[in-house]
Structure 1
């Protein structure tokens, strides 16, 4: 699986241990960062790391995309570095980082949309 937070920092994770080591490296950056995980089947999972809360985006091989759904009664934004810029994400998308990591582990193994997260289609 191709893993990166910038195109210049791409790595290949051939095992779960390598994926989790990559996650640890990203968390050591010191600020919340969006990570892109590209599966061999053309699907992608984007996960926010480095905060107690995360946001996720799942992209099908045909380009259809979905985002995580957390507590829809909340308002505000979370900020994550995404490639080379600081981006804002609606706090309603936020789920615990530990749940997001579990979703990434599932995606690594199956290559399909993780079932432990509530998803909403993007328009």
Structure 2
């Protein structure tokens, strides 16, 4: 599975690879969105480097979803995404630990992980 963030890219084939990549991103000191692409074309994007994370999931046909935390929350979380800082609605926020479990599930299956609640984008 390909993992990318900013101008960096690596291959993630195991849980150990996943955790090593997450640690590399955390050491940058900037909360960052990481893109994981499975062989089937599905993509999971997760925020790394804060207590809370946001996730998106997209399929090759354009179907996409975002994580759903608490719909009542207002405000934004900031993550570096493709070398710029972007705002993500806090209603999408889930604990970072849950996002990492979702990444493990995605690594194992290449499918939308059940570790977090999802809401369709369209």
Length-normalised TM-score, structure 2: 0.97
Distance (whole Å) between structure 2 residues aligned to residue 72 and residue 14 of structure 1: 34
1:102 aligns with 2:101: yes
Q: CA deviation at 1:61?
A: 2.1
Q: How many residue pairs end up in the alignment?
A: 122
Unaligned runs of 5+ in 1: none
Structure 2: which 5+ runs fail to align? none
Secondary structure, in 3 states, of the residue corresponding to 2:24? helix
1:59 aligned to 2:58?
yes
Equivalent residue, structure 1, for 2:117: 118
| Corresponding position of 1:4 | 4
**Runs of 4+ residues deviating >3 angstroms:** none
What's the CA shift string for 1:52-77, capped at 9, x where partnerless?
00000000121211000001111000
- Equivalent-residue separation in structure 2 for 1:55 and 1:81 (angstroms): 12
1:25 match: 24
The whole-number CA distance in structure 2 between the counterparts of 1:103 and 1:49 is 12
Tell whether the 8 Å contact from 2:13 to 2:107 is kept in structure 1 after alignment: no
The CA distance in 2 between the partners of 1:115 and 1:15, in whole Å, is 19
